[in-house]
Structure 1
């Protein structure tokens, strides 16, 4: 149904065209009658708009219902479908250590993808920008894409991002290196977003919870926040940054400040091994690869040292959850990222700490099921949302 009023025939035509394109995006093929029922437009308007969209290359007209053998009597129905070759969408997770790119159709069907495990953290801004641009171009050139142009590329970065796609340059140099002007990429329509924000958008689409947070954890913590069904961003895109953890844990360097569960597990396990001469299966683990997976495996076998680290992780998580709940009154907090596989014991410990040390209400605390690709899934979801909001805004520029 088309709502609202238009001040000019041209604007009304554009509104009607956008309504029909949104319908086409959600329908494999359709008749003029089906488009009339979905949009509330008259038959003459639907046929006129469809003719314009066919001429513009956005729709293609199929054999009518009689030619297709769908009907035998009455006036044959004209049939249409979206011309998917008009363009594609690109999602990018530009993590500092891993680059993931996916090209999908305008209906979200994956067409081509690539994952690059980087040899080390890429903090050279120009080199990072060139790597992302080159990789996106290579994936777009895959035969499965069929030469369709990118209508929108959404790039997730581990840095605050404002409404214009820029990250602060007056704080850690890390942020500017992670987002070296992606939004200004020549010849491309690019939307840049914080990685935790994309994670919460992916979880929000998956769970349909109106008040929720996604805690993206690995080497660092970041939070994506949805309240009243809307993403919270802040003036400079800093909503959800975890620098407030410095206030919670103090100046003790062993506390880890904004470190995520992966970094904390490694730091605290190595610290405990250095202080304690007791036996622990973690002593046989290479310190270079020691992380939360090894700690959880040892704890599951009853390793006392690993169990102590697990309890510390649960307490840290519980305090963070309590702060987010008290500030934002969310109903669910989802732990996301590569380090959440097998994280159940830490969640159980955090729930115990919440019940013992904090007053209710407590949000539901869960682990993401979207795995390592949660940021990429959020990037694709945001691209699809922007397309459906105003398809002509992207198609006109594609």
Structure 2
């Protein structure tokens, strides 16, 4: 037993050294052997040996020496290395309820191509899109194929693919049973669908991916705080929980599900602000609560949108203004409850309401700022727009590639070392 441990130790040590060098190279544009020595504490001989091995395996490239580049003048020319950004690629997919998109990115996360497709169906309340999982599978496959084709990347150079879905997802990529079947439709075996497309295929909740994007994107609001929620709000509400700089998923991937709101006074459901804005406005019109000739009264209760309600409020319609205030109070109450439960610094709201109901987020933020609750979080609208989930999917795919890099090979497009 001891002989086995001793015999394997040099191999383990080489792997650890390679991991340290590659991790540093991944976070720098170019680095000399001397800089790697300082960053890792390894000897020059070890650094050179590890770099030569990583060059051979396709992860690093050796650049012209620093003297040739004009950055080195005295003594022995320094050997310089850099991550081969285009050695391999990842794909991030946002398999949303109404829209699907795919991004192809290099090893630095730079997007080289994208594709998008709308999911056919009627209004958001229609069951048409909920009745055909096969259509969602076909569209997911086609949007990935379109993005890869547009990138001109050899499919054999794709190492990881991450799909974001509007459903909780467990470690195996499956979603639990939903009473209406919604989660089974929005995640109709997408992990299985893409098996073989890349060495690493993962399925993740869309709000969790939005939380990762808020941390990794230069425009993200989660870069300078330890704990926050990335809340996706539209027809429903879901949240990605970043607590103490760690994404919290839960046993079944349902840590960010908002079904507990059914039991919160003044909320009583996890319905999203977009859905409620339409419902409240339609009820006001049908009940005659709107003033004759008002902006809201002139809308068709069966076809109005949440953006119509916002425009009516902007024109001074009293009923519409009241609806937006009610929604703002609701959002603020949800944030207060989440702050009390999780003690987060911020709640970052993304999803469709950032464009259609921006004043609701602004007003809810004011209500929170005025609150005397000591755990009330700061509320911000996400600046990432509709690309948040796809951006998070790319970051997730890159993270698993980094974790398993030494089990993979990018030499001559081969997939597994």
Q: TM-score, length-normalised on structure 1?
A: 0.88
Partner SS state of residue 192, structure 1: strand
3-state SS of 2:176 partner: coil
Cα distance in 1, alignment partners of residues 276 and 408 from structure 2? 43
- 1:88·1:148 contact (CA, 8 Å) conserved in 2? no
CA distance in 2, matches of 1:122, 1:166: 17
Runs of 5+ unmatched residues, structure 2: 1-5, 122-128
Residue 147 of structure 1: how far off its partner (Å): 5.7
Q: Using the alignment, how far apart are the partners of 1:158 and 1:52 within structure 2?
A: 42
Q: Distance in 2 between matches of 1:336 and 1:223?
A: 10
Tell me which residue corresponds to 1:155.
163
Single out whichever of 117-126 and 348-357 deviates more from structure 2: 348-357
Instruction: Report if aligned partners of 1:111, 1:145 keep a CA contact under 8 Å in 2.
Output: no
What are the Cα deviations for residues 312-355 of structure 1, in whole angstroms up to 9, with x where unaligned? Answer: 21122122122212211222111111211264532354356557
Q: Does 1:261 align with 2:273?
A: yes
Matching residue of 2:182? 174
Match of 2:387 among 367, 373, 377: 373
Contact preservation (8 Å) 1:211, 1:330: yes
Map residues 387-398 of structure 1 onto 2, 5 A cutoff.
387-395=401-409, 397=415
Change beyond 3 A, Cα 1:20–1:123: farther
Give distance in 2, aligned partners of 1:137 and 1:300.
43
Write the deviation string for residues 115-174 of structure 1: whole angstroms up to 9, x where unpaired.
212222365333322322232133122245366621111111000111222111364311
Q: 2:319 corresponds to which residue?
A: 305
The aligned counterpart of 2:230 is: 214
Larger mean CA deviation between 282-291 and 332-341 belongs to: 282-291
* 1:347 to 2:361 alignment: yes
CA–CA distance in structure 1, aligned partners of residues 43 and 244 of structure 2? 36
Contact 2:340/2:376 (CA < 8 Å) preserved in 1? no
CA distance in 2 between counterparts of 1:386 and 1:6 reads 29
In structure 2, the CA distance between the partners of 1:352 and 1:74, relative to structure 1 (3 Å rule), is closer
Task: Give the aligned partner of residue 203 of structure 2.
Answer: 192
Quickly say closer, same or farther: Cα 1:55–1:268, change in 2 above 3 A: same
Q: TM-score, normalised by structure 2?
A: 0.85
Q: Does the Cα contact within 8 Å between 1:167 and 1:179 map onto a contact in 2?
A: yes
2:112 corresponds to which residue? 111
Matches within 5 A, 1:1-398: 8-68=9-69, 70-71=71-72, 73-120=74-121, 121=129, 123-143=131-151, 145=153, 149-169=157-177, 171-184=179-192, 185-187=194-196, 188=198, 189-205=200-216, 206=220, 207-208=222-223, 209-248=225-264, 257-276=269-288, 278-279=291-292, 280-287=294-301, 290-341=304-355, 343-351=357-365, 359-395=373-409, 397=415
CA contact (8 A) 2:285 2:301 kept: no
State the number of aligned residues.
Answer: 390
* Cα contact 2:57–2:409 (8 A) shared by 1: no
Residue 390 and residue 146 in structure 1: after superposition, are their counterparts in 2 closer, same or farther (change >3 A)?
Answer: closer
Q: Report the CA distance between 1:394 and its aligned residue.
A: 5.0
- Aligned partners of 2:405 and 2:332: how far apart in 1? 42
Is the Cα contact below 8 Å between 1:23 and 1:38 reproduced in 2?
A: yes
Separation (CA, whole Å) in 2 of partners of 1:240 and 1:143: 34
Structure 1 residues 369 and 170, CA, compared in 2 at 3 Å: closer, same or farther? Answer: closer
CA distance in 2, matches of 1:360, 1:290: 39
Tell me how large the CA RMSD over aligned residues is: 2.7
Q: 1:343 to 1:134 in 2, by over 3 A?
A: closer
Distance in 2 (alpha carbons) for counterparts of 1:6 and 1:214 = 47
Instruction: Indicate the residue corresponding to 2:125 in structure 1.
Output: none
Give SS of 1:141's match: helix
